[in-house]
Structure 1
Amino acid sequence: MLTAVDHVQLAAPPGSEDALRAYYTEALGMTEIPKPPALAVNGGCWFQAGSVQLHLGIEESFRPSRKAHPGLRVRGIEAYADRLAAHGAKVVWNHDLPGHRRFHSEDPAGNVLEFLEPGR
């Protein structure tokens, strides 16, 4: 029986860790968490906010997916969108999901992220 999603892994190109750290900690407000030493040698970085973990792994022939993405629930979606925009991230609102407010954005590697808040 499944009980929860432990983490979501996204890929990123070699050498992108500094840009990812800035985006995930400053723009998204996540905390970087240490990778186990055996995995840290592979590069990349891990982030956490509450029980949500996003792992960014380095992929030599990286190409961002245009469709696959994590859906991240937020509280105060307008303020969150404003926060991302203030950090230079593109915010694209989408009104196709009944009962939710949501927008899409991209991290510095081009990974699509969906942010949603139930209601309305």
Structure 2
Amino acid sequence: MITALDHVQLAAPPGSEDTLRGYYRDVLGMTEIPKPPALAARGGCWFTAGTVHLHIGVEQDFTPARKAHPGLRVTAIHAYARRLTERGATVTWDDNLPGHHRFYAHDPYGNRIEFLEPIDA
């Protein structure tokens, strides 16, 4: 029986870890967590915020996820969107999900990320 979502993994090109840290840690405000030593040798980075765990793995023939994406629930979405734009991210608002405010952003390698907040929150 499935009980929870443990993590979401995105991909990035080899050698991208410092840029990833700059985005996921400094722009999005996530915390980097250490990878287990056996997995650290593969490259990539792991991040967390609240109960969300996001793993970024290195892929030799990297292609960004432009449609598939994690959907991250946030609070104070308008202030959070301002935070992202103030740090250089492009935010694209989308009002097609009833009952929610939401926007999309892309990490420095083109991976799509959705941010949403229920309107009654």
Same fold (TM over 0.5): yes
How far apart are the structure 1 equivalents of 2:60 and 2:94? 32
Amino acid paired to 2:34: P
Q: Map of 1:58-97 to 2, 5 A cutoff?
A: 58-97=58-97
How far apart are the structure 1 equivalents of 2:4 and 2:48? 15
Residues 12 and 59 in structure 2, CA contact (< 8 A), matched pair in contact too: yes
Tell me the residue number matched to 1:22: 22
CA deviations over 1:54-103 (Å, ceiling 9, x no partner): 00000000010221000000000001100010111110000000000000
Amino acid paired to 1:113: I
The alignment's TM-score, normalised by the length of structure 1, stands at 0.98
Residues 91 and 103 in structure 2, CA contact (< 8 A), matched pair in contact too: yes
Tell me the residue number matched to 2:117: 117
Tell me the residue number matched to 2:104: 104
How far apart are the structure 2 equivalents of 1:12 and 1:66? 12
Tell me the residue number matched to 2:55: 55
Aligned length: 120
How far apart are the structure 2 equivalents of 1:113 and 1:16? 18
* Divergent runs of 4+, >2 A: none
CA deviations over 1:13-65 (Å, ceiling 9, x no partner): 01111010011111111100000000000000000011100000000000102
What percent of counterpart residues are identical? 68
Segments of 5+ residues of structure 2 without an aligned counterpart are none
The alignment's TM-score, normalised by the length of structure 2, stands at 0.97
Output the aligned Cα RMSD: 0.8
